[in-house]
Structure 1
Amino acid sequence: MAALVYAPFPDRESAREVAAQLLDEELIGCANLLGPVESLYEWQGERGEGSEIGVLFKTDVTLLERAVARLEALHPYDTPAVLGWKCDAPGAATAAWLGGLTPRD
């Protein structure tokens, strides 16, 4: 079954670096760099805003927890917002593609 992970990044360069590392480690099959996105947020009691690059990572559900943990470790933010979830209705070809991922240990 397919899974998705979303995380915003401070810039396109850091997003590309992390995506490349996750691809190298075969924890994801694809990363879609979106954006820029405008972020409005509440953090440590203060309101803020900024421009970020959103990234949608595609993986297999069996790799979801490992991909999320590795993304958190590689992310340039001290406390990154990383959200992962199972896809309820992936296309058959997409599920087969992502199901074939074999991560490097």
Structure 2
Amino acid sequence: MRKPRDFDAELKALEDKGRELKTRKVQQLGELVIATGADALSAEELAGALIVLAETKDAGKKEAWAKRGAAFFRGKSRRSAPAFDGDTGRTPPQSGGAQSSSSGTGTA
């Protein structure tokens, strides 16, 4: 005879997994805000911009944003720490590190 399944334990495991995934999503969104430099905006400005983005129905705009986002993830504009030297987006060649030589595109 087969052992009966413990549905309560399975449901709890699924709920825990769902909670873990939500936590990871929130953390990754926060990291994205920081990496893009949007953390310099106030919460109200950021929320307003995101609302406008979410409400936009123009497919052309969304496609342009998607291309720019894909370039961000591929390119060297991705940064782990805020790098605001007053010179927007351009870094000297010696400080680029290994990532600048591995990315064939993305000279800002």
TM-score under structure 2 length normalisation: 0.24
Q: Which has the higher strand share?
A: 1
TM-score under structure 1 length normalisation: 0.25
Q: Which has the higher helix share?
A: 2
Rg comparison, structure with higher value: 2
